[in-house]
């Protein structure tokens, strides 16, 4: 009797052990879709700085879109075919807002020169409009390529700098935890104007090497800011994309020396 009981007991336990194995074997594989890729919108992506931001973002594997008044980049280059180009004017109507669809972060490179009223509209009003629309749409991060103070030039180009600072103020209000303001001085690099390519690095690169060691002199009132070192456009683009996509990049204002420091980090 005892042996019979033991056999039955082992047989019952064996069946209980086998049942979970059968369930595992019959389970179906669940296909989990990959998380959506970050989509970066570059305002002014067809311009000098904006085009370099687009290229840097593509090199990082991001989905990239651009919004500008001219639309697509004028020069036929392979990278341009990978950008989703939108044509629109931030100062006219609201049709451009469709470019915000699916966007997780923005880099604004919008700016320009002209009369004081025109400069305020392009550098200030246009960017303020973009910041408000992005905040309403729920875009997480906003990076603004502004400009360093230039001493006496602040008064000569008052509309330019007043517009920049007004846009910065709006950004701080709307994006207290998701903003980054870049303040470069003179940005150099190969700049294309029509069919001509201007090698601005011929002047900018030597000045950068000299002036980046003259930081104390830049504190001299009025004249000092004119000694702000130039910065390469590729460095600006690298920091802009990192600031827009790296969740641990701290919010705040990045001056020229910060740009040089961040651009050298991997």
In the structure, what pLDDT confidence band is assigned to residue 197 with cuts at 50, 70 and 90? low
Whether 14 is in a domain gets the answer no
The answer, yes or no, to whether residue 10 has pLDDT greater than 80, is: no
Beta strand spans in the chain (E): 39-43, 63-68, 84-87, 105-108, 141-145, 179-182, 187-188, 190-193, 196-199, 231-232, 252-254
Residue 67 domain-assigned (yes or no): yes
* 160 within a domain of the structure (yes/no): yes
DSSP notation for 95-139: GGGGGGTT--EEEE-----SSHHHHHIIIIIHHHHHHHHHHHHT-
State the average pLDDT over residues 78-85.
Answer: 94
Does any domain span residue 192? yes
What residues make up the domain containing 85? 39-263
Looking at the domain assignment, is residue 20 inside a domain? Answer: no
Instruction: Flag whether 9 is in a domain.
Output: no
pLDDT digits (tens, 9 = 90+) for 21-76: 444 444 454 554 444 468 999 999 999 999 999 999 999 999 999 999 988 887 78
Predicted model pTM: 0.76
What CATH number is associated with residue 221? 3.40.50.720
Number of domains in the chain: 1
**What does the pLDDT look like over 122-181, one tens digit per residue?**
999 999 999 999 999 999 999 999 999 877 777 888 999 999 999 999 999 999 999 999
Please report whether residue 28 resides in a domain: no
Check residues 184 and 213 and name the one with the higher pLDDT: 184
Whether 54 is covered by a domain: the verdict is yes
For residues 73-91, average pLDDT: 90
């Amino acid at each position: 009797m005892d042996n019979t009981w033991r056999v039955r007991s082992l047989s019952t336990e064996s069946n209980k052990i086998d049942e979970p194995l059968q369930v595992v074997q019959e389970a179906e594989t669940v296909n989990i879709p990959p998380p959506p890729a970050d989509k970066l919108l570059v305002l002014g992506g067809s311009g000098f700085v904006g085009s370099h931001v687009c290229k840097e973002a593509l090199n990082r594997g991001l989905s990239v879109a651009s919004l500008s008044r001219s639309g697509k980049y004028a020069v036929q280059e392979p990278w341009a075919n990978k950008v989703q180009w939108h044509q629109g004017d931030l100062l006219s109507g609201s049709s451009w807002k469709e470019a915000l669809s699916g966007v997780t972060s923005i880099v604004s490179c919008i700016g320009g020169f002209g009369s004081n009223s025109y400069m305020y509209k392009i550098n200030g009003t246009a960017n303020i409009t973009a910041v408000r629309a992005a905040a309403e749409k729920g875009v997480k991060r906003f990076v603004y390529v502004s400009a360093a103070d230039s001493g006496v030039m602040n008064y000569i180009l008052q509309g330019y700098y007043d517009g920049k600072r007004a846009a910065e103020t709006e950004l701080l209000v709307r994006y207290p935890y998701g903003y980054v303001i870049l303040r470069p001085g003179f940005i150099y690099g190969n700049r294309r104007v029509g069919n001509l390519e201007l090698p601005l690095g011929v002047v900018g690169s030597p000045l950068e090497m000299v002036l980046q060691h003259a930081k104390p002199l830049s504190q001299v009132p009025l004249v000092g800011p004119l000694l702000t070192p130039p910065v390469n456009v590729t460095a600006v683009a690298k920091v802009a994309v990192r600031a827009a996509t790296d969740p641990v990049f701290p919010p705040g204002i990045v001056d020229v020396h910060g740009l040089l420091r961040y651009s050298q980090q991997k």
